[in-house]
Amino acid sequence: MSSELKTVAVRHQNNAEIRLESIGGLGANLAGKMLAEAGVLRMGLNGWNAASYGSEKKGTPVKSYVRLTPPDVQIRGANPIEEPDVVGVFHEALFKTQNCIAGLKTDGILVVNTTKTPEQIRKESGLHTGTVVCVDAMGISVEEKTRVNTAMLGALCRVVPILDPDKVRDVIRDTFQGKYPGLTEANIRTFDRGYAEVTVQEFPPEAGEIPQPFVRPVSDFGYQTQNPGGIINTAGNSVLKDMSASRQGFLPDLNLAECIHCGNCDQVCPDMCFVWEPKENEKGRTFMFLQGIDYQYCKGCLKCVDVCPTSALTQLREEDLYAEEHSVKHDFPIIVG
């Protein structure tokens, strides 16, 4: 396979620190593992791979880390990668809630699953300098009935010099052959298309520019500000969180003209997204009326569509800004601190 694009980042030829930014369920963890395994077992490199761990569930942000070095270099630390050479963003919506490019080196490579242009992604991510690589991994994986991870691996192999696409492809083949043999060929195709269908643009630093040093974030909740015992006295403050990055391409669309206000959607919604108001009906009696959906919390499970007895709720392929423009916000009685 051709690797002419790799010249964009020859600076990272001998080793690479790669961070994959994703949400649980897209296969970033497996992708990181396959990359590192290809490096260690097939490219003759030394390598290390880990994922962020916490209480993360499906749909919540996760990171996978891959360190690759020449074979004789020891990798001693077990700490996550703070200043990567390469960031792979599996889920574009993460730019809204996460600093995906945190610490990315000024000459780093940002690979994003998106239908947008590198210039648009540069703006959306806040990237200043470096190389932006766009690939429609979602589109490819929908067509191939696979996950985005193998398409992202293809794109990464295209632009990261240390990665040998043939070796990564071999690992993908072996991984799927062992567990899901029926998916092997589709994943190889997905990988090849991810490799082929990249759009790359380099944004060099301006002359005389001094790169900002990486600063490790510090928690607001320190030993002088935490309540002793870890007690949380801010009841219900999870309403401040934005869960919209959990959606994987779909959301429920509400057509109020068809709604009979039965309440089924509200009852099965795991994320309390439905907003109601008491109103008088035409006979002057007060009833609850559905007002809309607060998409800030919607994870796109579509249970509401499943239980809707009319066609008021339907599944919609999410487009940019749709949720923002159609959200009906909950009127929570928030006391600002």
Partner 1 sequence: MAISEQKIKTTADNTLQEPVIPYEQVIDFRSGNEMAARAAAQINYHVMGYFPITPSTEIAEYLDEMKTHGEHDMVMVPADGEHGAAGVCFGAAAAGGRVFNATSSQGFLYMMEEMPAQSGTRLPMVMNLVTRTVSGPLDIRGDHSDLYSGLNIGWPILLARDPQAVYDMNVMALRIAEHADVRLPVLVASDGFFTSHTKRRVQYFKNREVVQQFVGPAPKNYPHVLDPSHPVTIGPYMNDPDLMNNKYQQSLAMYRAEAIYDQVAEEYAQISGRSYPKVDAYQMQNAKVVMFILNSAAETAKDAADKLRSEGLQVGVVSPNLLRPFPKQAIQKILADAQVILVAERSDEFGAHGPNLTQEVKAALQELGSHARVLSRVYGLGGREFYPDDAENLFRTAWTVLEGGESANFDYYGVNPGNPEAKAAHTRLQPLTKEETTGFVSVTQDASTGALKVKVPSLRALTGKAKRVTPGHGACPGCGIFPGIETFLKGIEGDVVVLYQTGCAMVTSTGYPYTSHRVNYLHNLFQNGGATLSGTVEMFWERKRRGEIEVGDDPTFIMVSGDGGMDIGMGSALGAAMRNHKMIILEYDNEGYMNTGAQLSYSTPLGHLTSTSGVGNGRYGKTFQHKDMPQLMAAANIPYVFTGVEAFALDLVRKGAKAQWYAQHEGMAYGKILISCPLNWKAPEDAGTRIVGAAVKSCFFPLYDVEHGITTLTYNPEDKGERVPVEDWLSQMGKTKHLLKAENEPVLQEFKDEVERRWQRLKAKSENPLL
Site for partner 1 in 168-227 (CB under 8 A): 218-226
Residues pairing with 203 in the sheet? 130
d(CA 75, CA 60) in angstroms, rounded, equals 29
d(CA 296, CA 329) in angstroms, rounded, equals 8
Binding region for partner 1 (CB under 8 A) out of 44-52, 95-103, 202-210, 318-326 = 44-52
Minimum Å gap between C-beta 70 and partner 1 is 12
- Residue 235 is a binding residue for partner 1 (CB under 8 A): yes
Q: Among 27, 47, 84, 130, which residue interacts with partner 1 (rule: CB under 8 A)?
A: 47
Minimum Å gap between C-beta 20 and partner 1 is 14
Closest by Cα among 166, 151, 96 to 125: 96
Minimum Å gap between C-beta 179 and partner 1 is 10
- Residue 73 is a binding residue for partner 1 (CB under 8 A): no
Q: Within 10 A of 202 (CB to CB), how many other CB atoms are there?
A: 14
Rule CB under 8 A: which of 248-267 touch partner 1?
A: 248, 261-264, 266-267
- Residue 241 is a binding residue for partner 1 (CB under 8 A): yes
Rule CB under 8 A: which of 295-334 touch partner 1?
A: 296-297, 299-303, 305-307, 330, 332-334
Binding region for partner 1 (CB under 8 A) out of 107-115, 124-132, 155-163, 288-296 = 288-296
**Ramachandran sector of residue 32 (left: φ over 0; alpha: ψ -120 to 50; beta: rest):** alpha
Measured in degrees and rounded to the nearest 5, phi and psi for residue 296 equal -60, -30
- Residue 126 is a binding residue for partner 1 (CB under 8 A): no
- Residue 102 is a binding residue for partner 1 (CB under 8 A): no
Would you say 116 or 261 has its CB closer to partner 1?
261
Q: Among 145, 287, 311, 320, which residue interacts with partner 1 (rule: CB under 8 A)?
A: 287
d(CA 266, CA 277) in angstroms, rounded, equals 13
- Residue 83 is a binding residue for partner 1 (CB under 8 A): no
Measured N-to-C along each axis, helices 137-144 and 148-159 cross at an angle, to the nearest 10 degrees, of 130
Q: Residue 113: CB partners within 8 Å, gap ≥ 6?
A: 89, 90, 91, 92, 135, 136, 137, 138, 148, 151, 152
List C-alpha distances in Å: 195 to 47, 122, 150, 203, 213: 22, 21, 10, 21, 32
Would you say 205 or 263 has its CB closer to partner 1?
263
Q: Confirm if 184 and 173 have CB atoms less than 8 A apart.
A: yes
Would you say 185 or 271 has its CB closer to partner 1?
271
Minimum Å gap between C-beta 332 and partner 1 is 6
Minimum Å gap between C-beta 297 and partner 1 is 4
